[in-house]
């Protein structure tokens, strides 16, 4: 995630979305994950950021792009969602929350945020919505975004299958993130996973020393900043 927050709409250079975020549905829930590196240009300003933001108990937002822009979007949408739930006296639907994200992304085009909304509700079960820069909203079985996503689209397309177990889905998301972090200079740090089901959300942290060493990598010495 690029935390600079700088974006000139008239610039011909594409916006930078330095990070890797992934969301995958499985039989019974959703697994979402992100790396933790925040960069300002070529400088790593934070290696343990949390890019997974809860919007409700069972709906989460994965953020890539400008850290300040996406944080502002998540704060506003969480506030409006709380008002929505208070009026209806029931949990907000995943689709409703995703629609709020899309609306803000579309109306305020100066924002640089490529985001994913994922969660579970009684009406639709496990759901994943991609919301890239510009305000599009697309419901998917799985999706990925951020600068590291370009390295793992093929892997996820090949390995994902309907009806996976929770363990299989968690392994798929973790492996995809580790592959992206091995190639993308803007992705790194720890792997954060959240599994969302009818019962709620559970977090899991995979530290750098727990990552598998890929075929073209050298082991990371202890104490080295990643």
Q: What is the pLDDT of residues 162-216, one digit of tens each?
A: 999 999 999 999 999 999 999 998 899 999 999 999 999 999 999 988 887 775 6
In a domain? residue 109: yes
Please report the pLDDT score of residue 88 as a whole number: 94
In a domain? residue 15: no
Q: What is the pLDDT of residues 119-147, one digit of tens each?
A: 999 999 999 999 998 889 999 999 999 99
What interhelical angle do 94-107 and 67-88 show, nearest 10? 140
In a domain? residue 215: no
In a domain? residue 139: yes
Phi, psi at 59, each rounded to 5°: -130, 125
CATH number at residue 52: 3.60.20.10
In a domain? residue 154: yes
Please report the pLDDT score of residue 209 as a whole number: 87
In a domain? residue 113: yes
Catalytic residue among 19, 56, 70, 143: 19
CA-closest candidate to residue 145, choices 78, 43, 70: 70
Please report the pLDDT score of residue 122 as a whole number: 96
In a domain? residue 14: no
* Rg from Cα positions in the chain: 17
Q: Which domain holds residue 131?
A: 21-210
In a domain? residue 224: no
Q: Is 129 exposed, middle or buried (0-12, 13-18, 19+ CB in 10 A)?
A: buried
C-alpha dist (Å) from residue 79 to 6, 56, 83, 86, 160: 25, 10, 7, 11, 34
Q: What is the pLDDT of residues 3-44, one digit of tens each?
A: 544 344 444 555 566 799 999 999 999 999 999 998 877 778
Number of domains in the chain: 1
pTM over 0.85: yes
Residue 144 near residue 156 (C-beta atoms within 8 A): yes
Looking at the predicted structure, is the pLDDT value of residue 157 above 60?
Answer: yes
Q: Is 20 an active-site residue?
A: no
């Amino acid at each position: 995630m690029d935390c600079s927050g700088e974006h000139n709409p008239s610039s011909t250079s594409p916006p930078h979305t330095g990070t890797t975020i992934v969301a995958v549905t499985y039989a019974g829930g959703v697994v979402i994950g992100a790396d933790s590196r925040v960069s300002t240009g070529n400088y790593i300003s934070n290696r343990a950021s949390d890019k997974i933001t809860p919007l409700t108990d069972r709906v989460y937002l994965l953020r890539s792009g400008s850290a300040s822009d996406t944080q502002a979007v998540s704060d506003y949408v969480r506030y409006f969602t709380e008002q929505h739930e208070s009026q209806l006296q029931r949990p907000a639907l995943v689709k409703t929350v995703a629609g709020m994200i899309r609306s803000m992304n579309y109306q305020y085009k100066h924002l640089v945020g490529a985001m994913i909304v994922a969660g579970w509700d009684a009406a639709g079960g496990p759901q994943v919505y991609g919301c890239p820069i510009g305000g599009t909203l697309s419901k998917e079985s799985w999706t990925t975004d951020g600068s590291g996503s370009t390295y793992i689209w093929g892997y996820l397309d090949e390995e994902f299958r309907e009806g996976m177990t929770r363990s299989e889905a968690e392994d798929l998301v973790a492996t995809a993130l580790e592959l992206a972090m091995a190639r993308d200079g803007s992705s790194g740090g720890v792997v954060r996973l959240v599994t969302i089901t009818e019962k709620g959300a559970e977090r899991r942290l995979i530290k750098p020393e727990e990552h598998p060493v890929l075929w073209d990598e050298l082991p990371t010495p202890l104490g080295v900043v990643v």
